[in-house]
Amino acid sequence: MVEVLAGCGHTLARIHRLGIVHGDYGPQNLLFDPSTFETAAILDWEWAHPGEPIEDLAWCEWIVRMHHPEHTSLLRYFFDAYGEPVPSWQERQAAMIARCRALVDFTGRWEPGGDAEKLWIERLDTTASWTA
């Protein structure tokens, strides 16, 4: 997982130098060469937009914390490989919460009170409960 997170950091820095935000950035949307862990492809660009790098930094961290909590301590490899100053925990968590709220709104427009909206409300609550 260290190699994957470091690869995520290197690749994200390159994306941000282009002036864009992926919008759903994390290891789940990268394909790696299994022998070198070099990024072979970046998937799922439908949320890409001009924006602030903290959006992707926070979302990649959110993906790890939410879906791979046993690897949270390895996030330092992601941030180190990114090579740029990393916003504070409070700023990153605020960006995670903002994204979760946006997804609550998004899913609620499709099916108010539905399972997807409930899931994102639960994820929002979980995200708000995290400490650094």
Are 84 and 53 spatial neighbours (Cβ–Cβ below 8 Å)?
yes
71 and 129 in a single domain? The answer is: no
Residues 12 and 75 in one domain: yes
Q: Which of 49, 125, 1, 29 is nearest to 11 (CA)?
A: 29
Shared domain check, 132 and 100? yes
pLDDT confidence of residue 31:
96
Say if pTM beats, i.e. exceeds, 0.85: yes
Same domain as 58, residue 2: yes
Q: Which of 52, 79, 49 is nearest to 64 (CA)?
A: 79
User: Residue 105's domain spans which residues?
Assistant: 88-132
Mean pLDDT over each residue of the chain, to the nearest integer: 95
66-101: pLDDT as tens digits: 999 999 999 999 999 999 999 999 999 999 999 999
pLDDT reported for residue 37: 86
CA torsion 27-28-32-34 (nearest 10°) is: 100
| Structure confidence at residue 132 (pLDDT) | 83
